[in-house]
Each structure stands twice: as C-alpha cells, then as structure tokens.
Chains A and B, each alone.
Chain A
Amino acid sequence: MKLKDIIGGISRSESVKDIYISLFSILLALIIGALLIFLIGSSPLQAFTVMLDGAFGSISNIANTLSKTIPLIFTGLAVAVAFRCGLFNIGAEGQLYLGAFFSVLTALKFSFLPAFLLLPVAILGGIISGMIWGGIPGFFKAQFGTHEVVVTVMMNYIGINITSYLVNYPFKAEGWVAQTDIIPNAANLPKLIPKTQLSAGLIVAIIAALAVYFLLWKTDFGYEIRAVGENPTTAESGGINIKKNISLAMAISGGLAALAGVTQSLGVYERFIDGFSPGYGFTGIAVAVLGRNHPLGVILTALLFGALETGALKMDRVTEISNDLVIVIQGLVILFVAAPEIIRSILKRRESQ
C-alpha cells in the first residue's frame, strides 16, 4: 500500500457521495467525542452546548472563530493545490513562517512607500518568499526526482529555524521577546470587526479560494496541473510538461501557505513573533483531506476546525473537560475520512495478489 495511492484516492474523488463521507465522518467523530465525555463522567450535551456557545454565541465569539479559520483556509488550499497535482506538500508550516517573516520585513523596510502601496507590497513580499520556499522542493522533484515529502519536511526545519534566528538576532526588537518591531499602520490588514482579532485576512482568504477554484477548473494552467495529478504519463502523451507543472504547483502551494503567515502577522500580531504558528501548516493537511481538496470544502472544513478550537477554549474554562478533546475529535474525523481509502487500497492489493 502506497501513501500516495491513499492520498490520491482521497484527493481525486469528487462525487456527491464523497461529501457524505466527510459529513458522516464528522458526525461519527462527534458521537465518539460525546461518548468519551460521557465516559469521563461529564455531560456531552452540556459540553457541546458550551462549545457551540463559545464558537458562535456572540459577535466577538464569531469573530474569533472566523479569525482562527483564516490561516487554516490558506494552508488547506495550499495542500489541496499540491494534492491536485499529485504532490504531498508537508512543508506549509515552513512556507508560512517564511511568508510571515518576509511580509513583515518588507513592511518594515519599505515603510517609505505611499500608504496605499505598502500593504500590497508587504503581502507580495510574503507570497514570493513562500513561492520560492515551496518551489524549491517542486523543482528538485522535477529535475532530480527527489521525493517532495522528504524535502518539504526538511525545509520546514530550515525555514522555521532561519526565521527564528533572524528574529532572535538581526531583526529582534528591543525587549525580552523574540519578535520584530511593530509594522507601520499602513501595512496592517484592517480589522473587520473592531476590538476583535478578525481582520481583512478573511476577505483575502475567500478571494484566494475563489482564485484557486478559477485556476484549477477554468484555465488551461489548472487543467494541466490536475492532469499531471490524475495521471502523469497520460498528461505527458498529451504534450503536457510534467516537470514544469510540478514546480508550478509547488510554488503556488507555497505562496498560498505563506499567506497564512502573512495574514496572521499583518492582521493579528502586527509584527513577526518567533514560533507563532500552532501548526497551521500541518492542520492544513487535515483540512485539505476532509475538504476533499476542493476550495469550498476547504473553507467549510477550516470553519469547522476554527469553531472547534474557539469552542474548546470556552469548554476548557467552563467545564472540567480539557480542550485536548478537540484534538481527539479532529483526529477521529481525519481517521474516518481516510479509513475508506486505506481499506480500499488494502483490498486492491489483496485483489492484485
């Protein structure tokens, strides 16, 4: 059984039936979650009510939920685009650190630019650094046949540690904390709702999702990317350049992942902070899988994960249940989505024997 077959199976399915599989997996995970809560002697009903309230109970709760959704949309899209080209981008985490750092650095170094230009230029700086960081493993795979999983994993360490070094030494702001100076106001992503964390990053995320949809299904570039992902040898005999598309898809994936860091830095922290990501890049893999590698699925899944997370915070405060339970539920959801593919691939192997 090959990992790639399983991922491939998950990523290529597009029919309505598969959406049911996703929904059913969520339901099943919630039921098991409820059972666990029951077993540790609490009330599942109360826990879920509290969670729901924590996620959507007030304007500021909704804003917090949406704010948590934003980076997951970007990393989910990033992984999904790579999946569609048959590639497994585990490097979103490193790419988003690069994106975050270089968008902040751009904002700091180009502060002389007119106000209306600074924000777009800063965002662009972040995207480009992510595209390079994602494009390198793509290029290596295309040219030398290295495995993108290995290279992206290694580049995660390099990316995270390089930015960590930069923010601890050359670009460290005064004080105890490993963070940069605060960026000029003009480079801030404006807040959508004042006094919350929700920034215009949400709009950027939705635009990015629409752009990914348009690219993949409405343009010849996207057709080539999907063709290479579906069957590289068939694509090749149709005159499609496999190498070019692998590099391109990884670069786009890296750029999208970078936006997760960019929107966090420019929209929430207003600076780069060492180690700010709680693993958005890795959660993005789960978001892409559960969202069936479709932009709409990614948005909905990111929203679900965002809601679970903010809800869990409240649950942790109000009840005796640890918010780690949410991680269990997320894990179960993924397991149930992936399980049919794993089973199918085992069966296939049996058959071929």
Chain B
Amino acid sequence: MTLAIEMKNITKQFPGVKANDKVSFNVEKGEIHSLLGENGAGKTTLMNVLFGLYKAEKGEIFLKGEKIAIENPKQALKKGLGMVHQHFMLINRMTVLENIILGMGNELSLNKKEHRKRINKLAGKYDFAINIDEKIENLSVGMKQRVEILKTLYRGAEIIIFDEPTAVLTPGEVEELYNILNMLRDQGKTVIFITHKLNETMEIADRITVLRNGKKVSTIRKEDTNTNKLAQLMVGREVEFEVEIKEKKPGNEILKVKNLELLLGKNESIDLSIQQGEIVGIAGVEGNGQLELEEMIMGLRKVKKGHIYLNNKEITEMRTKDRKKMKIAYIPSDRHNRAIFKNFTIEENILLGYHYKLPFCKNHILQKDNLKKHSQKIISDYNIKTPDSGQLIKNLSGGNQQKVVLGREVSQQPEFILAAQPTRGLDIGAIEYIHNLLLELREDNKGILLISADLNEVIKLSDRIAVLYEGKFMGLKDKKDFSRKEIGMLMAGEMIDSEA
C-alpha cells in the first residue's frame, strides 16, 4: 500500500504548550483515516501544519514518498490537498457555480459555460444531486457541505481533510455524508476525518490515529478496536458510557410553557410542562427555535405570543433578575457571550447574578471574604483545575470554565435548571462530569430542561424528549417510546406515519 501522506516527528510549540510533540502520522492512499482526539489534543494543529498554516519546529512531511515543504494553503491546494472546514467558506448571495469558481479565474481562463459543464460532470460522478445555479442561501446545511466538497474536488484535491464535518448535520445528513465519503474513497481519493466522536469513527474509518495531549497514542485498524478501547486511548482512563438512570416519579409541575411562539411569522407555538425530578430534553438541529426558547424562559427575549409559568406563577413579562430570584439556574448555550466575563477573575464570575445580595453584598458593599470562601468551595466541590480563585477565567480550559458556571448556578439551591448545550465543545472527561451532575440534580428532585444539539446527550439523560423543528414540537414523548431513527427523522422535519 502506498502512503499518500507521511508526517514524521512533527513538533509544534506554542507559548507554554507543546501542541504537537513528535507526532508521526501516515495516511494510505485511498483510505478514510480518522484523526481522533479530545479538544486540545493537537488534531487541528497537526492538520494546519500539513496545510501550511503553521510551520512546525521539527519534523518532515512526505507526499507520495516525496519530501515537501508547504508554506501556505495555496501551495497545499496545488499539491492536491483540500480542506472542508467546519464553518463553511461560502458566499450566501452567490450561486453554487459562482462559489466554486470563485478565485479560480486567473488560473483557468475558462468561461462560465465550460466551468458549468465540468462541474456538472463532476457532481454527476459523485451522485451529488445539486442544482449548481441555486443560491447558497437557499441550500440546507448538508447541501452547503456538498458544495464545499465539490469546491475542493474541482480544484483537483486528491487528499481531502474534513474538520469535524458532522457537527452541523442532522442524523439523516450524516448518513448521506458517510455515503459521500465512501464514494470518494472508492474513486481513489484519500480522506482524513478529524473528529472527537467515537461512534462516527467506528462507523466510517478504515484506520484511526488517536492523539492525546499533543502526542500520538496509537494508530490502529478499525477491526482491531472498539468504542471503549478508543475512549480509553483518547482520555487516558476508563470512561463510563452507560449511566444507570433510576426510575423516579416526577413531582409537582415546576415550569409550564403555554402556546409560546418561538419563531416570528411561522405561526407555530409550543406547549411544555416540566415536573420536579425529571429531565426533559429538547432535541433538534440548532436554529429551529432553541435559542429563542432559552432566551424567552430567561427573560432575555420578548415574548410576542404565549405564556411562561414558573411554580404556577406567570413570569412571561418578568425581569431576568426577578426570574433568577425564583430559583432558576441558567446554563447558557453561548458560554462566551452569556455566561462568563473572560477578563474577570473566577470569583468575579461566580458573583454574577448574586452580586447584590447576601452573603456577597451587604449595604451595597461587596463582601469579598464570603465570595472567596464560596469560590474556593466551588473550586473544590466541582474539581476545577486552577491555582486559586483569583485567576482570570480565560486562563481555564473550556471544561473548567463551564464547571465554574455550573458551580455558580447550582450552588444557589435552584429548583429549576435550564441547561442549554451544556457540554458543547467540551472533552469527554468534562462531559461525563456534567452529565453525572445533571443526573444528580434530577435525583435531588430538581426540574431540568435540557436543550441540546447532541442527540446522544438528549437520549442518554432525558426522561422525556421533544423534537424541535421550525418552532414547533414534532413530538413529545417518553424516551422509551422513541427510537433513535424516529428522532432523527423528526429532526429533519419528516412526519412519521402514525402506525400505532
């Protein structure tokens, strides 16, 4: 088997951290190779070195056995490397065709007609059912991704790197992406698939390279491993996947949402009721009203139509501050713009929302000793890795930042917890911790609304699940009455024939 790419002893140093430490990595021609690791393991750095975005201090790169030095992405493209980014680099107001040929004008002095012919042929070859005269803004996320793939192919890429490509897709679209990847391989292309998701890796990869803390841990064939082994390689210890959720009788209703219109002009609304001691999960692709629901419950967005009740009291028009007084804990989906002050200390972040009342404030004077004590307790209770509570929060990892947020909110004895995308962007260890914490809170008879784009998370934690699509619930049932496939279809807006 010939090697498409061989990277030898790549070392890339950033101030204070070795992002890649003597990493050797090789990809065979015509395989799908999964580059697996947690956030910060060095996957993206390694690919950026390959792509010429970073220059490694040490190490060599060989392309088809020939030593190369790539200085910038443009050269990488010329050598047949292509990258499909997580965030699409497309111009919404232009058509598919225009986006694909954008920036190629000088190199290929072809007219649009010729381009059109060639692109259509290429799309046909890979079975992309795509109208290349459609504007990007009218395409679904999955289709936009195809445009990106087509773009790299049209530029002659032989080796295509996918950076976390499934993050934005519905389950159905993920399946289609897998088909495309397989087809690319069958056509002789080489695929590198960056991910931190184990099941994806097991689904699609031929071989797997696991990175941890900037070092290569192992390269294995898929047949020789399984999800548990991979998780252990990735995290460095055993990880519990299955959690046992105890049967529990829900108590009184804590949150009620009535006729709430999430998306303006869609003329759809939702009804929802959450009891003490249960977790209700909202599944769905982001952008279908999740953010609106979250912000309306917290009073951060005006409710145009509908009502929200907390503990039988209407809060629809109430100020955020007063809602928080009614014991809502809020884990915002946008950590950086809703949950933390990155240039403030951990203590000052823990103060938010409770800064005006005892024990942290007396006669408008902040009680720093009490705050410090409380912060230190949160740090030790939640196992937050930091030298002390006076550190700026931006110096913590994402997982530890999220633990500070959880600590702040949960330590105030809430009765209802709104957890929106609580584990997004976090590594396995932190996810596991947060999942267990949410389950403990459920055990403690709190009512919990979990809004998450991660279907696995919703299925794992929820008692009941609702699927949100274009501002309405496509179904709200006990978890046991849902199949994963069913949820996946509902997420894409497909109605299920009522056979029962």
Contact = CB atoms under 8 A, between A and B. Distances in A.
A208 B319 CA distance: 33
B330 interface: yes
B351 interface: yes
B338 A237 contact: yes
A340 to B, nearest CB: 16
Interface in B323-375: 323-324, 330, 332, 334, 337-344, 348, 351-353, 355-356, 361, 364-366
B352 A238 contact: yes
A237 B332 contact: yes
Nearest to B357: A220
A234 B401 CA distance: 14
B298 interface: yes
By size class, the interface of chain B is 20 to 34
Interface in B378-422: none
B320 interface: yes
A223 B351 contact: yes
By size class, the interface of chain A is 20 to 34
Contacts of B355: 220, 223-224, 227, 238
B239 interface: no
Interface in B295-335: 298, 300, 319-324, 330, 332, 334
Contact of B341 (A221, A231, A239): A231
A221 B352 contact: no
A237 B341 contact: no
B338 A239 contact: no
A341 to B, nearest CB: 13
A78 to B, nearest CB: 22
A320 interface: no
With a 10 A CB-CB cut-off, give which of B332, B340, B341 has the most chain A CB atoms. B341
A218 interface: yes
A5 interface: no
A238 B323 CA distance: 10
A241 interface: yes
B320 A236 contact: yes
Nearest to A223: B355
A53 interface: no
A191 interface: no
B365 A237 contact: no
A71 B288 CA distance: 55
Interface in B448-465: none
B352 A235 contact: yes
Contact of B320 (A220, A221, A239): A239
A62 B372 CA distance: 43
A14 B342 CA distance: 13
B366 A239 contact: no
A219 B356 CA distance: 9
A221 B332 CA distance: 24
Contact of A12 (B332, B338, B343, B356): B343
A206 to B, nearest CB: 21
Contact of A227 (B332, B352, B366): B352
A227 B319 CA distance: 18
Given A223-B355, A230-B344, A239 B321 contact: yes
Given A12-B343, A227-B341, A230-B343, A238 B353 contact: yes
A14 B353 CA distance: 23
A233 interface: yes
A348 to B, nearest CB: 14
Contacts of A235: 341, 352
A234 B319 contact: no
A248 to B, nearest CB: 13
Given A218-B365, A218-B366, A239-B321, A234 B338 contact: yes
A237 B320 contact: yes
Contact of B330 (A226, A237, A241): A237
B398 to A, nearest CB: 15
Contacts of B320: 236-239
A234 B300 contact: no
Interface string A312-345: 0000000000000000000000000000000000
A227 B339 CA distance: 11
A234 B339 contact: yes
A220 B356 contact: yes
A226 B298 CA distance: 22
B427 to A, nearest CB: 23
Nearest to A237: B338
Contacts of A241: 319, 321
Interface string A220-259: 1101101100110111111111000000000000000000
A241 B321 CA distance: 8
Contacts of B356: 220
Contacts of A238: 320, 324, 352-353, 355
Contacts of B351: 223
Given A220-B361, A227-B352, A237 B298 contact: yes
Nearest to B362: A220
With a 10 A CB-CB cut-off, give which of B300, B338, B340, B361 has the most chain A CB atoms. B338
B365 A219 contact: yes
B364 A221 contact: yes
Given A234-B337, A234-B341, A237-B339, A220 B366 contact: yes
A214 to B, nearest CB: 9
Given A220-B356, A223-B348, A237 B321 contact: no
A282 B365 CA distance: 33
Nearest to B322: A239
B330 to A, nearest CB: 6
Contacts of A220: 355-356, 361, 364, 366
Interface in B419-470: none
Given A231-B337, A239-B324, A240-B321, 14 more contacts: A219-B364, A219-B366, A220-B364, A223-B348, A230-B342, A231-B342, A233-B334, A234-B337, A234-B339, A234-B352, A238-B320, A238-B324, A239-B319, A239-B321
6 nearest A-B residue pairs (beta carbon) = A239-B321, A238-B352, A238-B353, A230-B341, A239-B320, A237-B338
15 contacts: A12-B343, A219-B366, A220-B366, A223-B348, A223-B351, A227-B341, A230-B341, A231-B337, A231-B341, A236-B300, A237-B339, A238-B324, A240-B321, A240-B352, A241-B319
